[in-house]
Structure 1
Amino acid sequence: MRVSTVIMFERSVSSMNRQQGQFMEIGEKIASGKRVVRPSDDPQAAARAVGVSQSMASNNQQSDSRITARNALSQEESALNSVTDALSRAKELLVQGGNGTLNDAARQSMATELRGVYEALVGQANATDGSGNYLFGGYKDGAAPFVETNGGISYQGATEGREQKVGPSRLMSVGNTGDEVFQRVATGAGYLARAGDGNGGSLTFTGPETIDSTANGYGSTFDISFSDNGDGTYDYNVSGGPGGSGTYDGKSGAIEVGGVRLKLEGRPADGDTLSMGRAKEMNPDVFGALEKMLGALETPIDSDQAQAAFTNALSTTSREMDNALDNVLTVRASVGARLNELDVLDTVGNDRNVSYTQTKSDLIDLDYNSAVSEYVLRQVGLQAAQKSFMNLQGTSLFDLV
């Protein structure tokens, strides 16, 4: 086979171009710091790197979501702290209100301060975050959850709280609804008693007290009505649970039903009623309880009937404040637990991100030591090809003549 001068030139140029291409390719990798600059460099590694990048993006998105959740929960915890202080102060005022030496003016003064506490609670119940969203409105965070109506403060927010994905498989509640905070009681809250609104006698009660939680009918709601026998004694009838009836002597005694005891003093009027039941079944509402107590404090005590109404309202409201405070503390504990969980998820997320980063680096990042060695090798190869081409250019058959 004859080797012509054209073929020799073409092969020399092709070798030089190939060496130059390889040299520029390794130079591009060194400049970018990547072993896989384009998918064709290593299709399998490039495909795996895309999957790792997607996982990293999801992990980073969840990290941002945790920041949002932490801000929301921190603001809720701050509001709940203020609610706790307000309820504690209300409880202190109720304890002071039980002092029998107070006159109407002193009780009116207490009512003024208690109304301030009441307004502060309403303000905290309608607290907003930095974006103007209501903390305790649930999904309906664009309007005030608690609205004043003719019947008092009414909750008009959502019954479901907002949730946010803060982990690969964790959907976290980032806000409690207003009814959870202000219209519920903690698990385990005991019995609560209330006097009928139309009671006209001087009957007062203490308790109720649980004496046997295994008794028939325990957990039921009981309604007690009194009838005057005209001889200083009063028959009573209990509806609810196992029911029952008996006679009260008009001085002091106790009614026991369904494992619950309610102590009585004073004389009921004919038709007076009492009710008692588990606190969660007695329509718990911190605002309604305070409104009734405010009415009792602002009403002059000028008769045995008024004194009995005040005493009963004080007894019921004190228990309701205890239950409300326990419930708020339970919610605060839940918020604190979620904040702690976010810290744990942050740690796990950071570890996961480090792992993703290392895996992606192993797949596409450049080993500079081997790359620089190859760069020098390609440079020598290119120079050799160029030198060979230059030498080829100077050859001629006439030099042999």
Structure 2
Amino acid sequence: MRVSTQEFYQSSLYSLLNQQSTLNNLSQQLSTGNALINPTNDPVGNAQVLDLNTKIANLGSYQQSNTYAQQGLSMSSSTLQSVGTLMNQVQQLAVQMNNATVNSNDLQNAVTTMQGNLQQLVQLANTQDANGTYIYGGSNAQTPPFQLQSDGTVQYMGDSSQKTLQIGPGLTTPVSQAGNAIFMNVPAGNGTFTVTASGSNYLIPATSGATATDVGNTTLGPGSVLNQATADSQFVADNAQYEVSISNTSSGLTYTVSSGTGAVDSTGWSASSGTVVSGTYTPGQSINIPSTLGGSPFMTVSTNGQPVSGHTAQFTLAAAKPQSIFQTFSDLIAAFTGGSGSPGANTRRSQDISNALANLNQFQTTLLSTQAQIGSNIQQAQSVQSLNANLTQQFQTDRGNIADVSYPQVITQFQESSTALQAAQKAFVQVQGLSLFNYIS
């Protein structure tokens, strides 16, 4: 077989170039640590690496959202703990003022304290995170959600939604709470029904020039539910109301409970009603109330004190409606402003404080439930964060197994290729110098 000089040169040059390319590729692998310098050499491995890179990037994004979510949830939890501390202080103050021995100075100091507490509560409800976002405003998070009005009322300017962040594939967690659910829509009373005292319980209006006189020290409630299903049927489904009347007549102390549906005006019970239970009254007793005459009691209310001779104290039990915790603070301010010194004033304050304490207890329940939910969300986010970290590490390991260089192996290949290239170059030079004329003398 005859090999032309041109063919020899082309074949040798092609071989040298291939060896140089191989050596250059191995050199880049050693310098970068990446075994996939040329995707065409391993298209399957390169596709796997691209897929793993995408998954790792997505997990990194989830981890950033998770960190932000945990920060928001932790701030909300911390804020609600501060709110709980404030509630405890308000409850202690209310109990202290529920005493006939307090004087006008004590009450005025309590009013000042409660006004400061109301402002502090609004401030806590308007807490912002590090980005200036109001955490209790729902989706409307750029303006203060709670605004204190000049008349002492508080309006909620946010909405009922919650902001969420995706912290994993198909998994989201809330990073804020709707402020109206926490602070505005708190069931009043014991959560099922409320106790409202008639204004005539505390002072008989002066008539015919006579001097108004106190009418006793009767208080009622807040009461509790014995059968929730019946209570829901009566108060929610049937919109029933109950009037408790405690009378001091010549025959002695008695009580009567009437039921009906309708409104209660300033003169007392106005609905068509029927007696469901009655009996002799003993101050401090609990009155068990059935829905119908002779039926089983479904709720009970505690009592205290008694009306003066010839007078009747009246109380209305109606379905509990939502009330803001800000309104409860305002109710306590009004109760402390009512003054002291007379049995009627002390009794009114005692009844108002009793109602406010019942509302505060309901808010505490809402607060604890919200904190428990936030704690659960934080635990879930932490678990997902740990899972995402493990997945990221696994994907990085898988990517390394495909793309990372095995230095001992590549160094060996580099040395072999370098030796082969040097040998090929030397052989090419030697063969290049051969000529037939060298052998003709």
Structure 2 counterpart of 1:168: 169
Pair 1:289 & 2:346 matched: no
Kept in 2, the 8 Å contact 1:184–1:284? The answer is yes
Query: Partner of 1:34 in structure 2?
Result: 34
SS in 1 for 2:144: coil
Structure 1 position 326, deviation (Å): 2.5
Aligned length: 394
Is 2:316 the partner of 1:274?
yes
Equivalences for residues 227-266 of structure 1 within 5 A: 237-239=258-260, 244-245=274-275, 252=283, 254=287, 256-258=289-291, 259-264=298-303, 265-266=305-306
1:224 maps to: 242
Alignment of 1:200-219 (within 5 A): 200-202=200-202, 203-213=218-228, 215=230
TM-score, normalised with respect to structure 2: 0.81
Cα distance between partner residues in 1 of 2:420 and 2:404: 25
Question: Could you tell me how far apart the structure 2 residues matched to 1:208 and 1:293 are?
Answer: 19
Q: Distance in 2 between matches of 1:226 and 1:267?
A: 13
Who is 1:154 aligned against?
A: 155
Q: Tell whether 2:438 aligns with 1:399.
A: yes
- TM (norm. structure 1) is 0.88
Structure 1: distance between partners of 2:245 and 2:432: 130
Q: Distance in 2 between matches of 1:330 and 1:228?
A: 37
Q: CA deviation at 1:244?
A: 4.5
Distance in 2 separating the partners of 1:229 and 1:185: 33
Cα distance in 2 between the residues matched to 1:6 and 1:216: 107
Describe the SS at the equivalent of 1:354.
Answer: helix
User: CA contact under 8 A between 1:250 and 1:267: conserved in structure 2?
Assistant: no
Query: SS of the residue aligned with 1:193?
Result: strand
Q: Deviations over 1:155-186 (max 9, x none)?
A: 22110111111122321011111122223459
- Per-residue Cα deviation, 1:342-399 (whole angstroms, up to 9, x for no partner): 2222211111011000111112221111111111111111111101111012111011
Which range moves more in the overlay, 155-164 or 301-310? Answer: 301-310
- Comparing 3-12 with 387-396, greater Cα deviation is found at 3-12
Q: Which amino acid aligns with 2:241?
A: D
- Work out the percentage of aligned pairs sharing the same amino acid: 21
1:53 aligns with 2:53: yes
Go from structure 1 to structure 2 and tell me whether the alpha carbon gap of 1:349 and 1:229 turns closer, same or farther (over 3 Å shift).
Answer: closer
Please report the RMSD computed on the Cα atoms of aligned residues, expressed in angstroms. Answer: 2.9
Q: Which runs of 5+ in 2 are unaligned?
A: 203-217, 263-272, 292-297
The alpha-carbon deviation at position 211 of structure 1 amounts to: 3.2
Q: Give 5+ residue unaligned stretches, structure 1.
A: none
1:78 is matched with 78
Check conservation: 1:29, 1:35, Cα contact below 8 A. Answer: yes
Deviation digits for residues 37-68 of structure 1 (CA, Å, limit 9, x no counterpart) = 13212111111111111110110000001111
Amino acid at match of 1:288: Q
Q: Does 1:140 pair with 2:161?
A: no
Equivalent position of 1:195 in the other structure: 196
Q: 1:331 aligns with which of 346, 350, 370?
A: 370
Corresponding residue for residue 350 of structure 1: 389
